[in-house]
A and B are shown apart, each in its own frame.
Chain A
Amino acid sequence: MAHVPFEYGLYLAAALFLVGLTGVLVRRNLIFVLASIEIMLNAAGLAFVVAGSRWGQPDGQVMFIFILAMAAAEVAVGLALALLFRRAFGSLDIDAASRMRG
């Protein structure tokens, strides 16, 4: 189990985070934007876990659990907002909300 270099876990976390960032930048569907944010949060948690397992400390996993709670809260509110968005604009294209109307 102890043969995976520490850096490769961080490379994987960086790559996953940047894929999620690209998704946020490219996609215009609200569901996809939320899913990309989930990918980014998951990658950040992966970096915490990798660092925690590198030094053999439980703090990385504790931080991952906090990130998990935050992601769950964010998804609950975000999906409720997606329901409202669909109701208000008739689509999930976030460019439909580019104007402020009070």
Chain B
Amino acid sequence: MTVVFYLAAAVALVSTLLVVTRRNTIHALLYLVVSLLAVAVVFYTLGAPFVAALEVIIYAGAIIVLFLFTVMLLNVGRQAEGDEPPRLRPISFLGPGLLSAALLVELAVAISTGPAARTGVHAVPPRAVGLSLYGPYAIGVELASTLLLAALIGARHLGQRQREPELGPGDAAEARRAGTTLPGEPSPSSEPSLPQPVGRDA
């Protein structure tokens, strides 16, 4: 199990470095999947199987799929390479890399000189996590659900407004009366996240 931990940690570090340095968006996101799966293995070796499953299902499953869906929707696979032509040189990483290295040294010193806690890890079964979630942390669960609801409504709102700034109010109303879409307006099939009102065209 120790070897598995070190191997997964190395894979996570290397793939995360590749995420930050790739130019192609799709490649970077696929490396991010590898990184998250490696972190899930780290969770498993640390005795947290429930969180490892959540990492695979929600992070690598849902969140990265959301990223990939947006990238496909924006069609930036190639254009992302043109978005930052001169900036992503190796010299660009010098300043932030040095700052991060300094912070890493500080954190390493802080961790290594902390109170001696050199015992191993203790497995925490999912049962304990569930009892804790719905016992002392019940308020937190409710707040998290409220946050997710707020994010849902916010994303819906932002997605709804995204075509209005290009259209003048007269244009939009005219297009709505005529039952057609303007040339600049994306076709409804390209945006499945925006349900088209049925009665609008009638």
Q: Chain A: residues with CB nearer than 8 A to chain B?
A: 1-12, 14-16, 18-23, 25-29, 31-32, 34-36, 38-39, 42, 46, 49-50, 52-62, 64-66, 68-77, 79-84, 86-88, 91-93
Contact = CB atoms under 8 A, between A and B. Distances in A.
B2 interface: yes
Contacts of B19: 23, 35-36, 39
Contacts of B97: 22
Given A3-B1, A50-B121, A92-B80, 5 more contacts: A27-B84, A54-B121, A62-B129, A68-B59, A84-B162
B158 interface: yes
Interface in B121-177: 121-124, 128-129, 131-133, 137, 140, 144-145, 147-148, 150-152, 154-155, 158-159, 161-163, 165-166
Say which size band chain B's interface belongs to.
Answer: 35 or more
29 contacts: A8-B9, A9-B42, A11-B108, A15-B104, A18-B101, A20-B20, A22-B97, A22-B100, A25-B99, A26-B87, A27-B20, A28-B83, A29-B83, A31-B76, A36-B19, A39-B19, A42-B39, A42-B55, A50-B121, A56-B124, A59-B132, A65-B51, A72-B62, A79-B70, A83-B73, A83-B162, A91-B79, A92-B79, A92-B80
A65 B71 CA distance: 26
B124 A53 contact: yes
B154 A80 contact: yes
Given A6-B117, A54-B122, A28 B28 contact: no
A79 B67 contact: yes
Contacts of A55: 122
B50 A61 contact: yes
A74 to B, nearest CB: 8
